């Protein structure tokens, strides 16, 4: 149990580093992203969870190798710069590390109704419309 | 009747004529047909029964609720392929796009010549398809709700003179909510959870949900029943037991779970083919940056296709991605990702699907029957076909007015001009250079054939080795189809239901328990009786 909590805390630390929003878009809600990521990882396979947590260690290892500092000790912008260097790496497997790690965060943040509405997808209006309209056979 | 884990307070033991494991494209039609023929049918489904109100436009939540393993299964081998399957009443049909295409004639010919399946005739299949299309309200996508994304791509394809059109789909009064793969919020899509299963229940079938079949009971070479376990969401501990003694067992858990169950039960393995011959129709997607807003994801997600290259094994089919899914598939991270998502309203999306020629896939028993391992190795020809599909999609997007096209190929993530296209066409794609592939159609892992030496089931769907054990799902399809498979799976399921009826009738006349009188007023044919009996006259 402790081990799980420890890993979840590592995941939470990564959220602001991996998840950026652009000007004018709703801010990231760390709690919401963290809660969804927990649910997403626990509904998946043990193999995926293992891979996910291994990749966190890989990312942290890479940071130690390249910057000689733990990822958690970097300021937010420094950490993001470090990640940019990985995204622009020529090795696609290396690039895949942060991409895979951020997938649950993206699913969580962009799954929010206000975020989807800001991108032109009116979720709540459609929910209301669909509720009124049942197709029967 | 639907029986959920919360409805029972202890182990359940009962009898039935037929047990169907899985309620998807294969299992649900068999359950409905046999229940309407008057047999006592029990359906065991690992997933939950969701109602229309549960399909609430939340794609991220849908992944964790309606998909097996929250949609996280991947193939082992380079490149990785995300392999999606539904786990809910209705199986994958509940989360599929509703496309209903018939088996191409050349594929049936191959089944005749290479797999000895001559008794599956074109005439019979056409009859079955026609009945299915009537039952499922199949018609071509309505251009009014097809979505701007699809219409733009179609226009591009037509400008280039490619054969393209609107896809036939099983939706009645579709409003183009764009949510088919996350559960249809209006009930328009005629997935098994709103068609076959309710009709099976009306005809007297019993459906156990959140119950996983674990043991197939065999005595003296003949199947005699199934044992399963209930479980509650989020609970690790196993729940109560279900044991059903039955005369016939139909295995319809899908092309990954069915072979896994056979391997864990060590039955029907004599041909050495269980789990082999896996094909998946690998899919890739392109994103185009357009001058105008596309309105995505509104509109039918898969409403148009380009079939010009189908003879070469390349089908281009529409796809739209709601914001969370688009965000998790973009090939960038960090600030660049955020910028790209800001342009979401201007992004068009389209996908390609490859019919395999030289790739090799296999399902191997994993640590538990629930979690088989899936190995998949791309052949160089298929990799080349995949690359060509990206070239074609980019070409069409440019003809449709795109400014830029994004692909998941390393070194070609961004295509800005015909020169980039030319560069990609000369590039020899390597396995590690492509990211973000997915697949939706696992098939072939218990293939049908005319010889027990190299096939797992007969053309009737019965396994060669275990009497009265039938397989009726995507795993029996002997080859990659080149088109979306649900209609063909259902057609073979109706056919198999007919053979099961024959078997049960002959064993009844030999002195076994009889069936209830057949229900009238249901059934897929106009004569309002189960379809397979209509065909026999
Ligand atoms: C996103 C997506 C879109 C698709 N779009 C299309 C489309 O537009 N057109 C098309 O033709 N095809 C489409 N497909 C594919 C199509 O839906 C499947 O090929 C088809 O549903 C497979 O049918 P099946 O019976 O083999 O398995 P499924 O439909 O997957 O049903 C198997 C069921 O068995 C259950 N099960 C498995 N093992 C057990 C067990 N041990 N005990 C109890 N229950 C068990 C599973 O939970 C599942 O509900 C799509 C697939 C996906 C993922
Ligand atoms: S487009 Fe919308 S209304 Fe139409 S079938 Fe799909 S989810 Fe249902």
Total domains in the fold of chain A: 1
Query: Each residue of B14-37: pLDDT tens digit?
Result: 999 999 999 999 999 999 999 999
Q: Is the CB of B96 under 6 A from ligand 1?
A: yes
d(CA B30, CA B461): 11
Residue B466 lies in a domain: yes
- Cβ distance B486 to B473 under 8 Å? no
Quote the pTM value: 0.95
How would residue B432 be classed by pLDDT, with cut points 50, 70 and 90?
A: confident
Q: Which of A52-61, B41-50, B510-519 has the highest mean pLDDT?
A: B41-50
Say whether both B491 and B430 belong to one domain.
no
Examine the pLDDT at B158 and tell me if it is beyond 90.
yes
One domain for residues B130 and B148:
no
Mean of the per-residue pLDDT values of chain B: 93
Q: Domain boundary residue among B413, B440, B467?
A: B440
The reported pLDDT for the residue numbered B526 is 32
Q: Is B463 helix (H, G, I), strand (E, B) or coil?
A: strand
| Contact B299 CB / ligand 2 (< 6 Å) | no
Same domain, residue pair B172 and B261: no
Q: Examine residue B335 and state whether it is found in any structural domain, yes or no.
A: yes
From the list A87, A116, A133, which residue is nearest B333 (CB)? A87
Residue A137 inside a domain? The answer is: no
Listing DSSP states for B219-247 in one string gives: ETTEEEEEEEEE--TT--S---EEEEEEE
Q: Is residue A41 part of a domain?
A: yes
Q: What is the pLDDT of residues B439-449, one digit of tens each?
A: 999 999 999 99
A-chain CB neighbours of B296 within 8 Å are 121
Residue A90 lies in a domain: yes
The CATH number of whichever domain residue B323 belongs to comes to 3.30.560
Task: Write down the pLDDT at residue B333.
Answer: 87
Q: For residue B176, give the nearest of B321, B299, B58 by alpha carbon.
A: B299
Residue A97 lies in a domain: yes
- Considering the domain architecture, whether residues B161 and B305 belong to the same structural domain is answered as yes
Minimal CA separation from B371 to chain A, in Å: 8
On the CB side of A113, CA atoms within 13 Å amount to: 8
Can you give the pLDDT at residue B76? 94
Q: What is the CATH number of the domain that holds B235?
A: 3.50.50.60
Is ligand 2 within 6 A of the CB of residue B182? no
Q: Are residues B234 and B159 in the same domain?
A: no
Q: Is residue A122 part of a domain?
A: yes
Q: Does B536 reside within a domain?
A: no
Say if residue B214's pLDDT is above 90: yes
Identify the domain containing residue A69 by its residue range: 2-132
Q: A40: which chain B residues are within 8 Å (Cβ-Cβ)?
A: 60, 63-64, 70
Which tokens in the block code for residue B258?
A: 């069915």
Ligand 1: nearest atom to the Cα of B211: 43
Alpha carbon A41 to chain centroid distance? 11
Average pLDDT over residues B160-178: 97
Q: Tell me which chain B residues have a C-beta less than 8 angstroms from the C-beta of A39.
A: 64
Which helix (DSSP H) or strand (DSSP E) does residue B53 occupy? none
* Binding site membership of B174 for ligand 2 (Cβ less than 6 Å): yes
Q: How far is CA B450 from CA B12, B477, B513, B523, in A?
A: 38, 13, 31, 30
Please identify, among B406, B440, B474, the residue that sits at the C-terminal boundary of a domain: B440
Name beta bridge partners: B233.
none
Domain hosting residue B364, numbered range? 66-83+140-179+280-440
CA of B91 to the centre of ligand 2 (A): 17
In a domain, residue A99? The reply is: yes
Please report whether residue B513 resides in a domain: yes
Does B323 contact A45 at a Cβ distance shorter than 8 Å? no
What number is the ipTM of this complex?
0.94
Please state, in angstroms and rounded to a whole number, the distance separating the CA atoms of residues B13 and A132. 42
- Nearest residue (CA) to ligand 2, atom 4: B174
Q: Do B263 and B331 have their domain in common?
A: no
Q: Looking at beta carbons, which pairs linking A80-86 to residues 24 or more positions away fall under 8 Å?
A: A80/A17, A80/A20, A80/B334, A80/B335, A83/A17, A83/A18, A83/B333, A83/B334, A84/B334, A84/B335, A84/B336, A86/A59, A86/A62
Phi, psi at B318, each rounded to 5°: -65, 150
Q: How far is CA B95 from CA B99, B101, B185, in A?
A: 12, 17, 11
Residue B185 located in a structural domain: no
CA distance B269 to B267: 5
> Is the dihedral angle over the CA atoms B105, B108, B113, B114 positive or is it negative?
positive
For residue B488, is it within any domain?
yes
Lowest-pLDDT choice from A23-27, B439-443, B461-465, B486-490: A23-27
**Minimal CA separation from B306 to chain A, in Å:** 27
- The domain total for chain B is 2
Q: Which of B4, B20, B22 to mutate to test the pocket of ligand 1 (most atoms within 8 A of CB)?
A: B22
| Same-domain pairing of B122 and B219 | yes
Span B342-360, average pLDDT: 96
The angle formed by the CA atoms of residues B293, B295 and B301, to the nearest 5 degrees, is 130
User: Domain for residue A18, yes or no?
Assistant: yes
Show the 3-state SS of A54-122: HHHHHHHHHHHHHHCCCHHHCCHHHHHHHHHHHHCCCCHHHHHHHHHHHHHHHHHHCCCHHHHHHCCCC
Question: Among this protein's residues, is B441 annotated catalytic?
Answer: yes
């Amino acid at each position: 149990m402790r081990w799980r909590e420890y890993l979840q805390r590592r995941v939470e630390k990564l959220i602001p580093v991996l998840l950026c929003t652009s000007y004018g878009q709703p801010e990231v809600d760390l709690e919401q992203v963290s809660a969804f990521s927990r649910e997403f990882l626990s509904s998946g396979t043990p193999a995926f969870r293992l891979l996910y947590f291994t990749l966190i260690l890989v990312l942290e290892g890479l940071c130690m190798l390249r910057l000689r500092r733990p990822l958690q000790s970097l300021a937010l912008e420094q950490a993001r710069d470090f990640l940019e260097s990985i995204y622009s790496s020529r090795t696609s497997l290396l690039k895949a590390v942060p991409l895979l790690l951020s997938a649950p965060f993206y699913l969580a943040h962009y799954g929010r109704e206000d975020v989807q509405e800001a991108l032109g997808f009116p979720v709540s209006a459609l929910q209301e419309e669909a509720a009124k309209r049942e197709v029967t056979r | 009747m639907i029986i959920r884990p919360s409805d029972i307070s202890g182990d359940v033991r009962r009898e039935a004529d037929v047990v169907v494991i899985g309620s998807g494209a294969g299992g649900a039609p068999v359950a409905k047909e046999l229940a309407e023929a008057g047999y006592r049918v029990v359906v065991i489904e690992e997933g939950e029964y969701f109602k229309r109100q549960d399909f609430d436009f939340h794609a991220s939540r849908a992944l964790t609720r309606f998909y097996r393993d929250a949609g996280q299964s991947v193939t082992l081998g380079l490149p990785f392929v995300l392999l999606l399957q539904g786990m809910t009443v209705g199986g994958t049909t509940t989360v599929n796009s509703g496309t209903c295409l018939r088996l191409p004639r050349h594929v049936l010919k191959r089944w005749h010549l290479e797999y000895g399946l001559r008794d599956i005739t074109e005439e019979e299949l056409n009859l079955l398809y026609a009945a299915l299309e009537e039952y499922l309200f199949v018609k071509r996508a309505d251009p009014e709700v097809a979505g701007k994304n699809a219409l733009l791509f179609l226009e591009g394809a037509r400008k280039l003179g490619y054969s393209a059109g609107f896809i036939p789909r099983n939706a009645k009064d579709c409003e183009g909510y764009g949510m088919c793969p996350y559960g249809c919020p209006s009930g328009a899509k005629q997935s098994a959870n709103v068609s076959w299963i309710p009709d099976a229940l009306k005809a007297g079938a019993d459906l156990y949900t959140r119950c996983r079949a674990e043991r197939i009971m065999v005595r003296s070479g003949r199947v005699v029943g199934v044992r399963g376990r209930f479980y509650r969401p989020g609970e690790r501990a196993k729940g109560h037991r279900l044991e059903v003694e039955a005369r016939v067992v139909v295995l319809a858990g899908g092309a990954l779970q069915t072979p896994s169950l056979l391997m864990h039960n060590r039955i029907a393995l004599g041909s050495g083919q269980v789990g082999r011959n896996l094909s998946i129709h690998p899919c890739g997607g392109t994103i185009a940056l357009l001058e105008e807003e596309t309105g995505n994801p509104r509109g039918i997600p898969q409403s148009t296709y380009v079939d010009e290259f189908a003879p070469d094994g390349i089908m281009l089919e529409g796809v739209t991605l709601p914001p969370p899914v688009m965000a998790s598939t973009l090939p960038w991270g960090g600030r660049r990702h955020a910028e790209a998502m800001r342009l979401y309203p201007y992004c068009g999306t389209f996908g390609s699907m490859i019919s395999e020629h030289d790739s090799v896939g296999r399902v191997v028993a994993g640590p538990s029957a629930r979690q088989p391992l899936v190995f998949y190795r791309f052949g160089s020809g298929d990799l080349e076909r995949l690359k060509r599909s990206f070239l074609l999609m980019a070409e069409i997007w440019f003809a449709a007015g795109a400014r830029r096209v994004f692909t998941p190929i390393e070194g070609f993530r961004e295509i800005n001009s015909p020169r980039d296209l030319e560069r990609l066409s000369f590039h020899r794609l390597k396995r590690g250079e492509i990211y973000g592939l997915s697949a939706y159609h696992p098939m072939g892992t218990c293939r049908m054939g005319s010889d027990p030496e190299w096939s797992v089931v007969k053309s009737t769907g019965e396994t060669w080795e275990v009497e009265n054990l039938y397989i009726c799902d995507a795993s029996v399809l002997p080859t990659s189809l080149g088109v979306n498979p649900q209609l063909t799976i259902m057609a073979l399921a109706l056919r198999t239901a007919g053979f099961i009826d024959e078997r049960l009738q002959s064993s009844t006349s030999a002195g076994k328990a009889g069936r209830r009188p057949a229900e009238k007023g249901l059934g897929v044919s106009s004569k309002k009786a189960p379809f397979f009996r209509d065909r026999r006259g």
